[in-house]
């Protein structure tokens, strides 16, 4: 059996934003408060340095500073997934080994891509993930997301799960995610250790019905996502469905209106962090959009809006 199955992770693992001050500099004290809130709000684990963490606006040195600060501050309270995506096989392997040595529980990696047109074929992708696996002893999560622009067939993903030692988790964010999750579980069997939902939970119920055992959402309201995932995994689907209907307006507003800024806006509004700044050339959402997000959130009373007050 794939060694990645030795310690399966399940539940809600939201993506933590990277916290900046109003000048756009790293705010590591704010980062630590963000992490404390996410743990207090019920996160089963946390993912850092993902696209929703604005990893693409960080220098390599800043990535290391954020990773070290978060892993030291978490100090084993919850498992932490570190995103180590890079086009180069050797650099991705080195990043992944560094994350493991710093205390990461898992690494998440997109297939190699650069810009709109630089892609490689399945043979090179397989060798890429195998290179990373050979360098580490912790699980690898494949992030199957449209941003990479790289088609990853079910059969290919299942083959990687069977043949690459530490690769057994899959965050599926492509269109028709539930169908792909269902087919992947059927094709890969016990080698599919972690079939996970993504994309801010916009397809969460369908993905859970298809067999998803984990959810990687935005970091603003893990308590709300737990109200859906916990009863579902415990066999109480009707309760999960009611909870999903309750939280869906906020999930939809995050996914369709605010994107990666939603959790920062909610964290600032609730006193968790001092600034919801994003780095240029990203632009802040319109004040009316911000107000709409907060209005919907207040009707649900998430922990984020009262944690820092």
**Residues designated as active site:** 171
Q: Which two tokens stand for residue 71?
A: 């892993």
Token pair 């799960």 in the structure block, residue: 161
**Residue 25 C-alpha from the chain's centroid:** 23
- Rounded Cα distance between 97 and 235, Å, is 37
Cβ atoms of 293 and 265 closer than 8 Å: yes
- Rounded Cα distance between 284 and 83, Å, is 24
Cβ atoms of 2 and 193 closer than 8 Å: yes
Using DSSP's 3-state secondary structure scheme, residue 101 falls into helix
Q: Which two tokens stand for residue 294?
A: 């907060």
- Rounded Cα distance between 244 and 272, Å, is 25
- How many Cα atoms are found within 13 Å in the side-chain-facing hemisphere of 102? 25
Using DSSP's 3-state secondary structure scheme, residue 98 falls into helix
Cβ atoms of 176 and 145 closer than 8 Å: no
């Amino acid at each position: 059996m794939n060694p990645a199955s030795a310690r399966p992770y399940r539940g809600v693992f939201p993506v933590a934003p990277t916290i900046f001050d109003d000048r756009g500099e790293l705010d590591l004290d704010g980062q630590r408060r963000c992490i404390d809130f996410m743990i207090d709000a019920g996160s089963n684990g946390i993912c850092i340095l993902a696209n929703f963490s604005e990893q693409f606006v960080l220098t390599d040195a800043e990535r290391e500073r954020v990773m070290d600060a978060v892993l030291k501050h978490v100090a084993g309270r919850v498992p932490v997934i570190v995103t180590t995506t890079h086009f180069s096989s050797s650099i991705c392997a080195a990043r992944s080994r560094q994350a493991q040595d710093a205390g990461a529980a898992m690494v998440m990696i997109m297939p190699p891509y650069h810009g709109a047109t630089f892609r490689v074929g399945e043979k090179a992708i397989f060798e890429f993930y195998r290179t990373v696996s050979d360098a580490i002893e912790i699980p690898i999560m494949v992030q199957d997301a449209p941003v990479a622009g790289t088609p990853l067939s079910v059969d290919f993903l299942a083959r990687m799960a069977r043949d690459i030692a530490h690769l057994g988790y899959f965050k599926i964010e492509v269109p028709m995610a539930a169908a792909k999750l269902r087919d992947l579980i059927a094709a890969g069997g016990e080698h599919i250790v972690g079939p996970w939902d993504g994309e801010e939970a916009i397809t969460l119920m369908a993905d859970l019905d298809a067999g998803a055992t984990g959810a990687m959402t935005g970091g603003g309201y893990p308590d709300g996502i737990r109200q859906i995932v916990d009863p579902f995994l415990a066999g109480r689907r009707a309760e999960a469905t009611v909870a999903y209907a309750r939280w869906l307006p906020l999930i939809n507003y995050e996914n369709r209106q605010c994107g990666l800024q939603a959790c920062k806006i909610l964290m600032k509004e609730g006193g968790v962090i001092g600034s919801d700044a994003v780095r240029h050339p990203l632009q802040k959402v319109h004040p009316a959009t911000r107000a709409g997000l907060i209005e919907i959130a207040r009707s649900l009373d998430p922990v984020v809006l009262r944690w820092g007050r």
